[in-house]
Structure 1
């Protein structure tokens, strides 16, 4: 029997991609015949390629814990893999927990005993699919977006109401027109930024997990998990309040202490190397010259130069971290050359910190682009290092330069992105668009950070906690930037909020009361204490 769900029951779903169905799994048993829900407790180990904090993590975890998928034999889920027709039908079947006994095979290429036979026969019996004109089902063929729209539409059989929603590439004569318009009108899928739906495009397994879990949360509403239950403790530059910033020792200490994310900054040298440092211009506050990279190097001394104008060999002659930062009186001083990005990856691997995320900032200087590597050069260099070292499942890209985030979406669409802002870079009320916003004009959004983030399509916003940046709740003249409305609006849009850089425990408490999803801090030890006092689960120490 098909389930008739009113269209209103599906309203409010947030769009990430498109609903489809992952691979071989054991169906969840249900005495009620209701859609499978998340189990109260899940003891299965995460898929090897679905670590905490990675894109689609919670959605894939829900699929796994609900018994909808057991993944592949090598314990992977393969979020970026296109899904086939047999898998799609199996996942809809398993999710709905249909009680069905198949008869003779309806399709010669899906005989009795074949993978997904029962689900395919159920789909045929319910007229969710009739196969192809030649009588075949083609279970291993990739599912198209429009095709799966129809699978889902026919399985749920909702009431389609009149709507003004349309896509220029979906004509009324399109076989999947009604299904696609239903998805769009309910907010399940709004198509692409260019306004098209691309019904012939395939669907990935990560997109599937996201939309199936969100569909379930609407059909089977439960009390939502409080953001604090999965609070993201991010060590700013490795925790520069405790160790010299951006050093192997700082990152190692943060891992030993126990953090969920290492936050770090990158710059790109003249010869394309990715180094880990906050400042685009070398200053005596952080580094000092030792010797020229080559005899009589005309660029020497290097202090005062921009990193984009120096080679890696020149940069690595510098002695960095040679003195304590006076802002951090307890900081342990560690001296050495400027790190490369791959060295951070090495530290993470040495500690076996597979569940720790790296929040990597591309520090493109949109306000003075000549002072950093060109945006595309910068982004491509960082992404190349991530992919070269197989770290894509543990990485998020953040940037104040939202144009860089748009380029990341184009070049590496599975990487999660975080939109940084200090508020001022939005340039609200000023003529024209800010150079920091990737072509968006804040005034077109009434200065609403969340609305702009929705347009940008990011998973996280990372605003300054307040001004002045080194201020705290209770200080005279301190003005908070993050507020309850911002957090509520972001969560309603499916966007996490992770303010920076918060070192005062009272301000941490203030922000956590709003329900922020994480905090970037120079003092991960302080934030751990606040989390412990609030009864939150602490990130495990690595090593």
Structure 2
């Protein structure tokens, strides 16, 4: 099982959708760019379509012929990126058994963390492979409510409320999902939440962090990994 705990001296560097700031997101080209920069883990979105292959895409509106299938992406990791961890962000609730079986088939399940906002998805994946690390993504905004114009003024208030209450809610959230790792939107990260998670033996990764000041804040909070669109910013911040 992949170890997501913080390495000595620095957090893990995770490329978001490959390296979305410098190469097309959720593509093999983007994965290569991230690997070339020296990231520890590459995150990408996996979408189960109603029919046909499971694809690498964030949403139905972004499915395109240029995007790889999940199997093609796993083949690349198995053949060309044996030193890089995989972060599979599963978008949906169907076909999770099939997706987990593909990880086993390509022999990458032991270096994969599979994240979802759905406890049901995580539990189902865990039943297929005990070698896949399961991570709960928080908070859940599958309906895109925070992006609606009339809701935007309320988003900072809501996130602050979630940040304050999260340390108390963590044990129940993790227990329900049977998760061994936690993916937190960076604005709900606090030292208290990270400390509570670590006390439970659960590493914390923060998403999606592109501003150097936010990178410093995440490092100070003690997160185990930082997910970023531009790994160059994080690597420059970490450089001695």
Q: Find the partner of 1:340 among 69, 77, 89.
A: 69
Equivalent in 387, 398, 408 of residue 115 of structure 2: 398
Pairs within 5 Å for 1:403-418: 403-418=120-135
Q: Which runs of 5+ in 2 are unaligned?
A: 143-165
**Cα distance in 1, alignment partners of residues 222 and 167 from structure 2:** 24
Deviation of the 1:410 alpha carbon: 1.9
Q: 2:44: which partner in 1?
A: 264
Matches within 5 A, 1:142-221: none
Q: Which has the higher strand share?
A: 2
CA apart distance, 1:228: 5.1
- SS of alignment partner, residue 360 of structure 1: strand
**Cα 1:450–1:510 shift into 2, 3 Å:** farther
In the superposition, the TM-score normalised over structure 2's length comes to: 0.81
The structure 2 residue matched to 1:526, chosen from 218, 227, 233, is 233
Q: Deviations over 1:462-510 (max 9, x none)?
A: 11111xxxxxxxxxxxxxx110100110111100010110110110111
**CA distance in structure 2 between the aligned counterparts of 1:265 and 1:461, rounded to whole angstroms:** 17
**Please, what TM-score do these two structures have when normalized by structure 1?**
0.38
Unmatched 5+ residue regions in structure 1?
Answer: 1-53, 59-224, 288-314, 317-336, 365-374, 426-444, 467-480, 534-543
1:461 matches 2:182: yes
The Cα shift of 1:268 comes to 1.7
Q: Kindly indicate whether the alpha-carbon contact (under 8 Å) linking 2:101 and 2:128 is maintained by their aligned counterparts in 1.
A: no
Residues 424 and 248 (structure 1 numbering): CA distance in 2 closer, same or farther, change over 3 Å? Answer: closer
Question: Matched residues in 1 for 2:41 and 2:199: separation?
Answer: 24
Q: How does 1:245-394 map to 2 (within 5 A)?
A: 245-279=25-59, 281-282=60-61, 286=62, 316=65, 337-351=66-80, 353-364=81-92, 375=93, 377-394=94-111
| 1:450 CA displacement | 4.2
In the alignment, is the contact (CA less than 8 A) between 1:354 and 1:394 conserved in 2? no
| Matching residue of 2:151 | none
Instruction: Give the match for residue 214 of structure 2.
Output: 507
Work out the CA distance in 2 between the residues paired with 1:242 and 1:385. Answer: 28
Contact 1:268 1:381 in 2 (8 A): no
Q: Is the contact made by 2:117 and 2:140 (CA closer than 8 Å) also made in structure 1?
A: no
Mapping of 1:97-108 within 5 angstroms?
none
Q: Is contact 1:228–1:516 with CA below 8 Å preserved after alignment?
A: no
* Secondary structure in structure 2 of the residue aligned to 1:381: helix
Relative CO higher for 1 or 2, CA cutoff 8 Å, sep ≥ 6?
2
1:268-304 deviation per Cα after TM superposition (whole angstroms, max 9, x unaligned): 223341100001x31xxx57xxxxxxxxxxxxxxxxx
CA distance in 2, matches of 1:516, 1:482: 8
Task: Please say if residues 6 and 12 of structure 2, whose CA atoms lie closer than 8 Å, have aligned partners that are also in contact.
Answer: no
Query: 1:105-163 CA distances to partner (integer Å, 9 max, x unpaired)?
Result: xxxxxxxxxxxxxxxxxxxxxxxxxxxxxxxxxxxxxxxxxxxxxxxxxxxxxxxxxxx
Residue deviations 1:32-91, cap 9 Å, x none? xxxxxxxxxxxxxxxxxxxxxx34x59xxxxxxxxxxxxxxxxxxxxxxxxxxxxxxxxx
Q: Report the Cα offset of residue 342 of structure 1.
A: 2.1
Structure 1 residues 385 and 267: alpha-carbon distance in aligned structure 2, compared to 1, 3 A threshold? same
- 8 Å CA contact 2:104, 2:129 repeated in 1: no
Whose radius of gyration is greater, 1 or 2? 1
Note the C-alpha offset of 1:421.
1.1
Paired with 1:494 and 1:446, the residues of 2 have a C-alpha distance of 14
User: Which position in structure 1 is the counterpart of 2:198?
Assistant: 491
